[in-house]
Structure 1
């Protein structure tokens, strides 16, 4: 059984270690100025490799950090937010250059971005509210596991959280920022990382002020084939997408249509899935007709599949009459459909117009930003390491539970952390067109913990018209800015 008893010791180091396989690049900094046309902030951009050691001093490796720190003299109440993407195996580049860092790639909503594209000052940056630190997970971006150290110790739910705890502690020490308001900002798998990290940081005496969860997944059970929670979470997303493309709910507001599908799931659809073949053919026929009205696919098509529509089935069929298929991260993005000869399911599952539209321009622009600091990093920097992703150890024992399943539910880690720290707040962001981490499942994961009002009163939910990458959608960014600013200001409330 995994030992889960808390420890309140943070073991630091002086940065000295045995020489790794390749020379570790020296830290590099550049003084910069950000403006949104109304206010101006002078800040320092620093790219560096943070040494990580185990408690006994063994070198784990070096974690890459790209930080933006305001030149504000008194930083006693100046928050620091640690940010990352997910994967697992993803670097932190996109949540940086995509829309939350001081500079960003210009957004073109649901169309392909050109490359090259010039980064510009980002009027939607979090910099007015907080200093920003972007950390790359071990084995991703520039972060390197030390020669001789088993990477499988950090490529997993628990080892990854432990490594990030050490990276955060090292950054706070290097930059002399202990006892400052601390926040986490995670996207996708980064939200699962946050959930475990909330608990791990607390057990090491590092208290959080707030956690921002964007495009969240806390429980991996809905990702299992045939899981009823999967189909339940997808229906509101399918409905929003059908509404967007004019296939359902003509003339009805997109959020109203999304909510209507949500109500259908809660009141009728979920019960039918649980009943399975116990419902009568007449009941199934009636539900298929109602579902067809919501998600835009023919009732007979839905009925034939016993009300269970796979994501790739929807992506291939909702725009089939137009010769298109739609995205996964953001279902509003489209590309021309493939011929049957390229009908391999595994290939198609990895094809995503919304990823194609932004990932290459974002990566190229991010590399330019790092170059500008003077950091001498490698010429190869992957947004997503498939090696890390494929070798990930999903085993995790949630606090207070028995056994270590390979399908983790980290909501219990978050619930434990919030019970221990009554001052921490959580803000969930979701998108109605996000088919990677459906928002219905997030609400369900938290609600089934039956947390008391003293905790739920400090949890907020915001849902917008975006897909998975909220920062890549301009209308969403415009709404997020005041919501995030208000969230940071709540640190001054009891």
Structure 2
């Protein structure tokens, strides 16, 4: 997200929402019978819980929260990795799928997908995805994936409670290849420790987490012989050329345009004809972006004045920005400029992670927004609720600060991609080609100005997959932003889409 990421959920336990106990395993639950609730030797804490879902369905599950020591081949500690593991009780673990989940950044913990999308508890927001007034609260997540799969939420080193081992430095983990190898090795060691080799395996990543997941598809397969059943990419970025507004790189101006249009549509800044039907309008602007607009930008100074005026007029129609502003901007408007310009006359800006949300800057004359209102709407809410949840519900207490979203992992080392754009799409293509049973689910929000949907589509269209492999890709769109699950209707749709994805991926 320029590789920055996202958010933090959690709130106080709501009476009557879930039953939290620390009782011994039930007699019929053989896998849990060997262990009693409490801490393991590495400090992870086990608790038992029940969550009630709509329709009277009840899930009894075990949560393990804390640290696992990542070791090198000689058994020497490399880092302590914080994680939360949810296992549904009743069935043998070997019969259950398991999904390893993380967010992005780089520098983000897993709190967003954990407490906003997939875990058994979520931070309470209003239906539009905006925070409620404090004091905040947690509620049962009616759209949790726990009935479909066991879940492991992973905090990469430098995020959450994860820290390098004594004698190691964070720098040993803060790079593209270093991050993929450390998270991949954690997954391998976790699979050994908790005996999940016979389970169907999935990855779920958001934002830079989709970059990580794509890299892991190759690393796990090649290094650890671990084939995956499926990968879920939430608000994806695999090819960073699609999102870097650099001089000489016109691609982002083209690929962000449909999201500019969706944003202008939402704020009613388009002409009446274009305001009628969002899907029809987006189809029209996508066609313009791929054809006339692309050709105009390619011509540069050779573009005739007549054509420049025509393109500026159409851009104005599709973005809600003035023709004169677009001419002055040389037909190229980057994301921060758009966020500031669209509602300038109203003395407002729009969000980057979710362009439906509006913010107020110190003045209306600036070049860039002072802050992202869509991140501000979740930051404090998720921070408070996650810390409360870990201490008072999962019983894990640490003197360390839980790093929700940190800049301490910067500068990020891009390794082989130094002096060029990082692109992990070839790794994903190779993994899907070698493992033809690997299914891919991609979720994009129409109002996401961090990883816009048209840029994701461009990357998927350039994977170079053969038709029989390409049919393993499923793409869905949502009327929300980067964290589409913060919007209730989109969260419900996301859950239904993912349920179908698991069915497809597990069909023999």
Give the TM-score of the pair, scaled to structure 2.
0.87
Question: Do the aligned residues in 1 keep the contact of 2:129 with 2:488 (CA within 8 Å)?
Answer: no
Question: Do the aligned residues in 2 keep the contact of 1:433 with 1:468 (CA within 8 Å)?
Answer: yes
Number of aligned residue pairs: 461
Unaligned ranges ≥5, structure 2: 1-40
Report matched runs for 1:150-229 at 5 Å.
150-203=169-222, 204-222=224-242, 223-226=244-247, 227-229=249-251
Following superposition, the deviation at residue 481 of structure 1 comes to 1.4
> 2:336 matched to 1:315?
no
1:18 corresponding residue in structure 2: none
Question: Do the aligned residues in 2 keep the contact of 1:25 with 1:376 (CA within 8 Å)?
Answer: no
Question: Do the aligned residues in 2 keep the contact of 1:112 with 1:356 (CA within 8 Å)?
Answer: no
> 2:72 matched to 1:50?
no
Question: Do the aligned residues in 2 keep the contact of 1:80 with 1:133 (CA within 8 Å)?
Answer: yes
2:48 corresponding residue in structure 1: 31
* Equivalent in 383, 386, 401 of residue 404 of structure 2: 383
Report matched runs for 1:131-146 at 5 Å.
131-146=150-165
> 2:482 matched to 1:468?
yes
Question: Do the aligned residues in 1 keep the contact of 2:245 with 2:334 (CA within 8 Å)?
Answer: no
1:16 corresponding residue in structure 2: none
Following superposition, the deviation at residue 425 of structure 1 comes to 0.3
Report matched runs for 1:92-491 at 5 Å.
92-108=110-126, 109-203=128-222, 204-222=224-242, 223-226=244-247, 227-250=249-272, 251-339=275-363, 343=366, 345=368, 348=369, 351-371=371-391, 372-378=393-399, 380-388=401-409, 390-396=410-416, 405-491=419-505
State the Cα RMSD in Å: 1.8
1:5 corresponding residue in structure 2: none
Following superposition, the deviation at residue 364 of structure 1 comes to 1.1
Question: Do the aligned residues in 2 keep the contact of 1:316 with 1:326 (CA within 8 Å)?
Answer: yes
> 2:62 matched to 1:40?
no
Unaligned ranges ≥5, structure 1: 1-23, 398-403
Task: Encode CA deviations 1:168-219: one digit per residue, 9 max, x unaligned.
Answer: 1122122211121100000000000011100000011111000000100001
Task: Encode CA deviations 1:338-367: one digit per residue, 9 max, x unaligned.
Answer: 2279x585xx46x11000001211121111
Following superposition, the deviation at residue 405 of structure 1 comes to 4.8
- Deviating above 4 A after TM superposition, structure 1's stretches of 4 or more consecutive aligned residues are none
Question: Do the aligned residues in 2 keep the contact of 1:395 with 1:407 (CA within 8 Å)?
Answer: no
The farther-off stretch of 414-423 and 150-159 is 150-159
Following superposition, the deviation at residue 293 of structure 1 comes to 0.7
Question: Do the aligned residues in 2 keep the contact of 1:100 with 1:471 (CA within 8 Å)?
Answer: no
Structure 1 residues 96, 257: CA separation in 2 closer, same or farther (over 3 Å shift)? same
Helix, strand or coil for the counterpart of 2:47? strand
Question: Do the aligned residues in 1 keep the contact of 2:59 with 2:88 (CA within 8 Å)?
Answer: yes
Distance 2:203 2:228 in 1: 8
1:12 corresponding residue in structure 2: none
The farther-off stretch of 377-386 and 303-312 is 377-386
Structure 1 residues 224, 344: CA separation in 2 closer, same or farther (over 3 Å shift)? closer
2:29 corresponding residue in structure 1: none
